[in-house]
Structure 1
Amino acid sequence: MKNQKSNILRVMHINDTHSYFDESVIALNCDGLDKFYIKCGGFSRLSHQISILSEEQKQQEGEVALFHAGDCFQGTLYFSLYKGKANADLLNQLPLDGMVLGNHEFDLGNELVSEFIANTQFPILMGNWDLSQEDQSKGHGLKHQDRILDFDSDLRIAKYMVKKVGLIDVAVFGLTIDQMEILASPDADTPFINAIETAKNTIQHLSNRGINNAIVISHLGYEADKQLAQAVSGIDLIVGGHSHVLQGDFTEIGLEARANYGEKINNTYIVQAGCHALALGYCDLEYSSDGQLLSFSGKNTLLLDNVAYKNKACSQQVEQDDLSRIIQELSSFEYAVFCQKAPNVEALLIAKYRKEVERLSQQVIGQCVEDLSHRRIPDEKGQSDIAPWVVEAFYSKAHQIDNRVQFAMHNAGGVRAGLNQGEITYADIAGKVLPFAIPIVIYSLKGKYLKAAIEGAIDNATDNGVIGSGSGSFPYVSQLRYCYDAAKPSGKRITEFSIYSSIMGWLPVIDEQIYFGTSTAYTIKGKEGYSPLMNREDMLITTPFSMADCFIDYLEHYPNLAKPIECLNQYYRNESVIL
């Protein structure tokens, strides 16, 4: 019996933490009670729960491992202010056995990635990232950082590490999105190799060496993980990220059920733990003495506080009788636990980072006259209330920098939240509405390419004649207006297209005329239907101002926001519609 227990590996996992170091507030609903709000997650609770699960398993003479499946960058003020330094410090507080990097780690290029890795203390599992041809003159090299288990260009396999589970060798390697250049901004000299082919070659190499058990730490996305499991036999477990899937049935407390924990495909179990450090996932893998995977069991667990509130601001607690019922209901719920905070993590946050975040969270920079929601694609209820203000802010800042700028354009997915009526703080903008620290750029291009970019972005967002990458590509514009007719042939769907001149009013956009505009450093790369922007003229100015910087600057001049259709037209010229 003792020998069998030593062949159990407990794998704990997190993913898509997006700099959510502090607890979040989530809405729950127990049977017979009104909706209530409760604080959940954060790195202090993660650390505490990891310690409990680790100690529990070690007392059973089993092995433990902890992995992060990517996307720790972006998302909150902690990243806006401190970039990768805060992430490195906080992740170092967790006993990580390894991490794969996600697409958001590459939003700002390789230099920030290199600095982050240099400050971490755990393996970086990047088995399909080819560093072999990296330009060594750049000054922030990755090729020779020995904790990166990257692509072996000679063997065409992922470099891997071996986890001992009793007498069993379990190989662990990482795979990330192989079309990284489409989603992010990696340096061109460090390409990403096809994930499935890399996995096939690696599993075969391991088999040749007598290693028949493998775990993949993946930032491919849930559907891609299922495709990987189907295409490559011999993987015991895929620990996934990117899709923010909280596996497990949370409907009993009012959360969406996405998938069963540990979905099994082709004898491979797939796990994922949601996002934003709300939950910790863990599974126990039991092996026979000859390496057969005998059993799999596990779950995701929400890490909860033991106080409930009536409102999201957590300014009014529920009555004691209701709290007692809530505590009783949640205590019996299988996928949640009341969790303390680890003092060492709290102390680090207080000493180095939280004070400035809290200061900016209290710094009022404007007023919201009414609730402003965010809707990516306009529908019968209307368009986004907040995105037009965002893109107007881009135009305002870019025009300050270069008065030749005539328009602004932004993809709907770059806006992450709306605003509630009341005071607008710095943190609302930089931490919620526009948390991605991506700069705006100034460029010029011919009218025909601008028109094609708008059509391509809407085609992509609505899957009109193409397999799109999601609704986030829908274009919101300033100083432009257009009509899009979905029924017309490709290339002819923009039926009206004009640009605003402060002197002449609305003028038709001319195909061969050159126009100056601004978008983000993400959109200008031609991603998600915006490929016609690649035909821009040679001029490209990357400004030092992030998306949030632009909006914050705008609010200093125009501090009161209402729904765009009701505001003064000189501040809002987005009249785009879908027919």
Structure 2
Amino acid sequence: MKNQKNHVLRVMHINDTHSYFDESVIALHSDVGEKYYIKCGGFARISHQVSLLTEEAKAKGGNTVFFHAGDCFQGTLYFSLYKGKANADLLNQLPLDGMVLGNHEFDLGNELVSDFIANTHFPILMGNWDLSQEDQTKGHQLKQQERILDFNPTLGIANYLIKKVGNLDVAVFGLTIDKMDVLASPDPDTPFMNAIKTAQNTVDYLAVQGITNVIIVSHLGYEGDKQLAKAVNGIDLIIGGHSHVLQGDFSNVGLEARDNYGELVNDTHIVQAGCHALALGYCDLKYSEDGELLSFNGRNILLLDKMAYKDKACTQKMDEPHLLKTLALINSFELAEVCEKDLKIEALLIEKYRGEVDRLSQKVVGHCMEDLSHRRIPDDKGQSDIAPWVVESFYSKAHQLDNRVQFAMHNAGGVRSGLNQGDITYSDIAGKVLPFAIPIVIYSIKGRHLKAAIEGAIDNATDNGIIGSGSGSFPYVSQMRYCYEASKPSGQRITEFSIYHQDIGWAPILDEQVYFGTSTAYTIKGKEGYAPLLNKERECVTTTFSMADCFIDYLSHYPNLAKPTACLNQYHKNKRVLV
């Protein structure tokens, strides 16, 4: 019997990089539980590690591919300052074979997406994005951009690319969140088709063409990827994003242990590599000549610096004995690598972008009197310490612009982190707490719709009677107070609802009274339970001030922050009271 030759495809992947081009500082633990800090990740380290893995695979006669599973926008000052331009520049430095777009790429509409794609050099894998009916009068055309592998409405399938592995054809296509209009702000003339149905149609079509090896680059989220794998047979590998899942057991260095890398569902391996460019994932797929997937082997790798520190600011180096012991621990841990940087990427960052980011990182705008944490949904430990200040800053700025503004409301997911005690810098606000470059808007609305929006947002955040989209919809408010009783029937869960008047104090909010308020351009679109806001009285005014602008302006007047006392939360079984 003739011996068959096996073929190996090495697949490298990243996801949810969120403009984290520079290294980050993470806290790890030694084998005796001692905490230390180390610089990790960044595009320069990813590039270097990709080159090493590529050389290693090619030396063994294998092929390589490298994909990004979406959400490169938002997250740091690099995006706040440079939008998609910096992302295009930096991603072009990586040898990407393709990228699917995530929901955050669409936060500010299609125009920014179009500019980003026009400036990138790699395929955009968007197999369930239908561009066929795009408005031809718009100035930012997507349909004409040849590198977009979008939805084929004639065949009902994803356009795909083919990667050769020996004599095999491996098809690759991308799928993103099909309910994109719920999470982001895509233009309505470019809808997103059902992801599972598109995948099934595409796999069936490929089989007719004699192609039975399929890789999907997905921004559906970890659970969405599992559902896809269960629903559609014949997928070798799903490269995922959106959920920030770092697969693998990192407990040896004090990080969370998650599912195994390459979680197997219905003969489909699912991989995901965390977030923020901290890690690189890679796997080797070994195929027989007739296309049978013989083996899967891979891991996520934390990309670490060669120096460890005693403090998060990385100013106190470990002494030599402790450093040597720590590095020995890291070197013995197969899910971490001490990694050099690609000097070309470092030079690009220094030459074009890092100077302004560094300047703003040192610009002090306020002071934290104590640590301020952020939890989205209040619980028995309390509420978010930082979200009430954020929403108060929205009210302050909006009231400066229009003195009719009476309240502010913001979803908890729009706040991304807390603040540590000490100086607050510009980059702490615009790069960490409020990195999403989304403006506030001013609008007017009747009290009954406002009440319904708050109830809907909490229902969505807590899955109360509905399948919600996540805890990020939970509403924080300024100049209002309410009581939400979870056990009551839908539509009757807001049992107390009042607004503060400067002259008379607290007064009930009346159903037919019109009130002026402010929220973000994201929330006002009615997403994630806020649909009643679509009943606003008139067209809202979109200001020129982003969320971060509002908070930074607020700190210029009130620079010292402590835990809020004017907005208290109490937790009861089946009842949350916000005052």
- TM-score computed with the length of structure 2 as normaliser: 0.97
Tell me the amino acid that sits aligned with residue 285 of structure 1.
Answer: L
List per-residue Cα deviations over 1:162-208 (Å, max 9, x = no partner).
Answer: 00110000010000000000000000000000001101111111111
2:84 maps to what in 1? 84
For 1:564, what is the secondary structure of its paired residue? coil
Residues in 2 aligned to 1:112 and 1:56: alpha-carbon distance in whole angstroms: 37
* Residues 495-510 of structure 1: pairs in structure 2 closer than 5 A: 495-510=495-510
2:481 maps to what in 1? 481
1:242 aligns with 2:246: no
Residues in 2 aligned to 1:197 and 1:573: alpha-carbon distance in whole angstroms: 46
Residues in 1 aligned to 2:570 and 2:428: alpha-carbon distance in whole angstroms: 27
1:11 aligns with 2:14: no
1:232 maps to what in 2? 232
1:574 Cα deviation from its structure 2 partner: 6.8
1:530 maps to what in 2? 530
Tell me the amino acid that sits aligned with residue 360 of structure 1.
Answer: L
* Residues 52-91 of structure 1: pairs in structure 2 closer than 5 A: 52-91=52-91
- Preserved CA contact (<8 Å) 2:383 2:569: no
List per-residue Cα deviations over 1:143-179 (Å, max 9, x = no partner).
Answer: 0100000000111100000001100000100000000
- Preserved CA contact (<8 Å) 1:170 1:213: yes
Task: Give the stretch that moved more between structures: 297-306 or 531-540.
Answer: 531-540
Residues in 2 aligned to 1:231 and 1:386: alpha-carbon distance in whole angstroms: 41
Tell me the amino acid that sits aligned with residue 326 of structure 1.
Answer: T
Residues in 1 aligned to 2:568 and 2:498: alpha-carbon distance in whole angstroms: 11
For 2:5, what is the secondary structure of its paired residue? helix
List per-residue Cα deviations over 1:71-103 (Å, max 9, x = no partner).
Answer: 000000000000000000000000000000000
Tell me the amino acid that sits aligned with residue 148 of structure 1.
Answer: I
Residues in 2 aligned to 1:221 and 1:81: alpha-carbon distance in whole angstroms: 28
1:186 maps to what in 2? 186
For 1:290, what is the secondary structure of its paired residue? coil
- Preserved CA contact (<8 Å) 1:3 1:166: no
For 2:303, what is the secondary structure of its paired residue? strand
Task: Give the stretch that moved more between structures: 141-150 or 528-537.
Answer: 528-537
1:434 maps to what in 2? 434
Residues in 2 aligned to 1:81 and 1:175: alpha-carbon distance in whole angstroms: 29
For 1:4, what is the secondary structure of its paired residue? coil
1:575 Cα deviation from its structure 2 partner: 6.8
- Preserved CA contact (<8 Å) 1:480 1:573: no
1:33 Cα deviation from its structure 2 partner: 4.6
Residues in 1 aligned to 2:232 and 2:369: alpha-carbon distance in whole angstroms: 55
Residues in 2 aligned to 1:342 and 1:276: alpha-carbon distance in whole angstroms: 17
Residues in 1 aligned to 2:205 and 2:495: alpha-carbon distance in whole angstroms: 56
2:368 maps to what in 1? 368
* Residues 267-278 of structure 1: pairs in structure 2 closer than 5 A: 267-278=267-278
- Preserved CA contact (<8 Å) 1:477 1:574: no
- Preserved CA contact (<8 Å) 1:454 1:475: yes
1:576 Cα deviation from its structure 2 partner: 8.2
- Preserved CA contact (<8 Å) 2:4 2:288: no
Residues in 2 aligned to 1:110 and 1:370: alpha-carbon distance in whole angstroms: 41
List per-residue Cα deviations over 1:217-252 (Å, max 9, x = no partner).
Answer: 000011110111111111111000001110111111
1:556 aligns with 2:570: no
Residues in 2 aligned to 1:576 and 1:492: alpha-carbon distance in whole angstroms: 20
* Residues 113-192 of structure 1: pairs in structure 2 closer than 5 A: 113-192=113-192
Tell me the amino acid that sits aligned with residue 182 of structure 2.
Answer: I
- Preserved CA contact (<8 Å) 1:369 1:562: yes
- Preserved CA contact (<8 Å) 1:480 1:574: no
Cα gap change, 1:563/1:371 in structure 2, threshold over 3 Å: closer, same or farther? Answer: same
- Preserved CA contact (<8 Å) 1:19 1:74: yes
1:539 Cα deviation from its structure 2 partner: 2.2
Cα gap change, 1:573/1:256 in structure 2, threshold over 3 Å: closer, same or farther? Answer: closer
2:217 maps to what in 1? 217
1:443 maps to what in 2? 443
1:573 Cα deviation from its structure 2 partner: 5.7
1:560 Cα deviation from its structure 2 partner: 1.1
- Preserved CA contact (<8 Å) 2:367 2:422: yes
- Preserved CA contact (<8 Å) 2:102 2:176: yes
1:293 aligns with 2:314: no
Residues in 2 aligned to 1:463 and 1:48: alpha-carbon distance in whole angstroms: 43
1:399 Cα deviation from its structure 2 partner: 1.1
Residues in 2 aligned to 1:17 and 1:4: alpha-carbon distance in whole angstroms: 37
1:3 Cα deviation from its structure 2 partner: 7.8
1:196 maps to what in 2? 196
Residues in 1 aligned to 2:342 and 2:462: alpha-carbon distance in whole angstroms: 45
1:548 Cα deviation from its structure 2 partner: 0.4
- Preserved CA contact (<8 Å) 2:382 2:569: no
- Preserved CA contact (<8 Å) 2:30 2:254: yes
Residues in 1 aligned to 2:223 and 2:337: alpha-carbon distance in whole angstroms: 29
For 1:456, what is the secondary structure of its paired residue? helix
List per-residue Cα deviations over 1:14-43 (Å, max 9, x = no partner).
Answer: 000000000011111121251111110000
- TM-score computed with the length of structure 1 as normaliser: 0.97
Residues in 1 aligned to 2:468 and 2:153: alpha-carbon distance in whole angstroms: 32
Cα gap change, 1:513/1:152 in structure 2, threshold over 3 Å: closer, same or farther? Answer: same
For 1:233, what is the secondary structure of its paired residue? coil
2:316 maps to what in 1? 316
Tell me the amino acid that sits aligned with residue 513 of structure 1.
Answer: Q
Q: In angstroms, what is the RMSD of aligned CA positions?
A: 1.3
- Preserved CA contact (<8 Å) 1:479 1:574: no
List per-residue Cα deviations over 1:27-60 (Å, max 9, x = no partner).
Answer: 1112125111111000000000000000111111
2:339 maps to what in 1? 339
List per-residue Cα deviations over 1:257-295 (Å, max 9, x = no partner).
Answer: 111000111111111000000000000111111111111
* Residues 512-527 of structure 1: pairs in structure 2 closer than 5 A: 512-527=512-527
The unaligned stretches of length 5 or more in structure 2 are: none
Task: Give the stretch that moved more between structures: 79-88 or 555-564.
Answer: 555-564
For 2:182, what is the secondary structure of its paired residue? helix
Tell me the amino acid that sits aligned with residue 362 of structure 1.
Answer: Q
For 1:476, what is the secondary structure of its paired residue? strand
- Preserved CA contact (<8 Å) 1:388 1:574: no
* Residues 22-61 of structure 1: pairs in structure 2 closer than 5 A: 22-61=22-61
1:106 maps to what in 2? 106
Residues in 1 aligned to 2:368 and 2:3: alpha-carbon distance in whole angstroms: 63
1:547 Cα deviation from its structure 2 partner: 0.5
List per-residue Cα deviations over 1:105-134 (Å, max 9, x = no partner).
Answer: 000000000000000000000000000000
- Preserved CA contact (<8 Å) 1:476 1:574: no
Residues in 1 aligned to 2:399 and 2:568: alpha-carbon distance in whole angstroms: 17
Residues in 2 aligned to 1:511 and 1:226: alpha-carbon distance in whole angstroms: 44
1:381 Cα deviation from its structure 2 partner: 2.0
Residues in 1 aligned to 2:410 and 2:61: alpha-carbon distance in whole angstroms: 54
The unaligned stretches of length 5 or more in structure 1 are: 566-571
1:569 maps to what in 2? none
Identity of aligned residues (%): 74
* Residues 396-475 of structure 1: pairs in structure 2 closer than 5 A: 396-475=396-475
List per-residue Cα deviations over 1:451-505 (Å, max 9, x = no partner).
Answer: 1111111122222222222221111100101111222222111111111111221
Residues in 2 aligned to 1:3 and 1:309: alpha-carbon distance in whole angstroms: 52
Residues in 2 aligned to 1:191 and 1:133: alpha-carbon distance in whole angstroms: 9
- Preserved CA contact (<8 Å) 1:36 1:309: yes
Tell me the amino acid that sits aligned with residue 165 of structure 2.
Answer: V
Residues in 2 aligned to 1:155 and 1:533: alpha-carbon distance in whole angstroms: 38
- Preserved CA contact (<8 Å) 2:9 2:63: yes
Tell me the amino acid that sits aligned with residue 368 of structure 1.
Answer: C
Residues in 1 aligned to 2:16 and 2:187: alpha-carbon distance in whole angstroms: 22
Tell me the amino acid that sits aligned with residue 224 of structure 1.
Answer: G
For 2:429, what is the secondary structure of its paired residue? helix
